[in-house]
Structure 1
Amino acid sequence: MTLRISSPVTGSVVALSAVPDPVFAQAMVGPGLAVQPAAVAADVLSPIDGTVVTLHPHAFVVAAESGQAVLVHLGIDTVKMKGESFTLHVVKGETVRAGQRIIGWDPGSVEAIGYSSVCPVIALDAQSSELADVRPDGDVKAGQTLFVWHP
């Protein structure tokens, strides 16, 4: 099923290869893009319609009915924050719509303690050849399309 993946945050699109973490930069978990968010407190939105199958304060996975799943990771090394500065708005197993708020956070507080606030958006278990209409580097608003996934 063709799936439109929207940006979970407002900011600037950056290539996955620019993410300061080799697991994301080398697309070990899947291809995608990253968004450098504006450094203001905001809600992180679901990139697709689906079910929240994994939920942590710093990351979540939403799976579509087709089985395709998208990982959104809020910053790098933010697992070390143990949930501080993150607010969950949904529970694991909840059905969500694209654009629905999932987590509240403040990228500025992440950067203030020395972590990167960049947000990888990953098409899990996909091949890079399955992604199309990939948004070029530049500004993006939450809810705008980042890429289209054709499995």
Structure 2
Amino acid sequence: MKRVDVAYALIHDKNNEKVLMVNNRGSGWSLPGGAVEHGETLEQAVIREAEEETSLTVEVQNIIAVNEAFFKERGHHAIFITFKAEIIDGEASIQDKEEILEIEWIDIQTANELMPFHPGGVESLLNSSSPYTFQG
């Protein structure tokens, strides 16, 4: 199986208790993110993917979750790394309408239903933190 690293950004609106999610054509709702490209750090991937999918510039913070899955039909062994991220510039809009159907601020309960693979739900992610360091 081919190893695929995927980096996601959890962008939280604390005032309204919502998270920013994207509806991906063919695979449904997720946090903004995608595959890490060759020669790219996890941090660079999160920033690039967030901008590609939402038009937003984000600042990456700590890692809040690591998930793993086998996709036998694709021959992939995926590692999903989710970071907290904060918007530092821009307004959410779809850049690639072939890939992204919608961008929406989703309430925490609905986000939990859309992402059942996080034990403890989005609330646990908001309280989780592990430092990320690129060592060169």
Class of the TM-score when normalised by the shorter of the 2 chains: under 0.3
Greater percentage in strand: 2
Q: Which is bigger in relative contact order (C-alpha 8 A, separation at least 6)?
A: 1
Query: When the two structures are superposed, what TM-score results if normalisation uses the length of structure 2?
Result: 0.27
Query: When the two structures are superposed, what TM-score results if normalisation uses the length of structure 1?
Result: 0.25
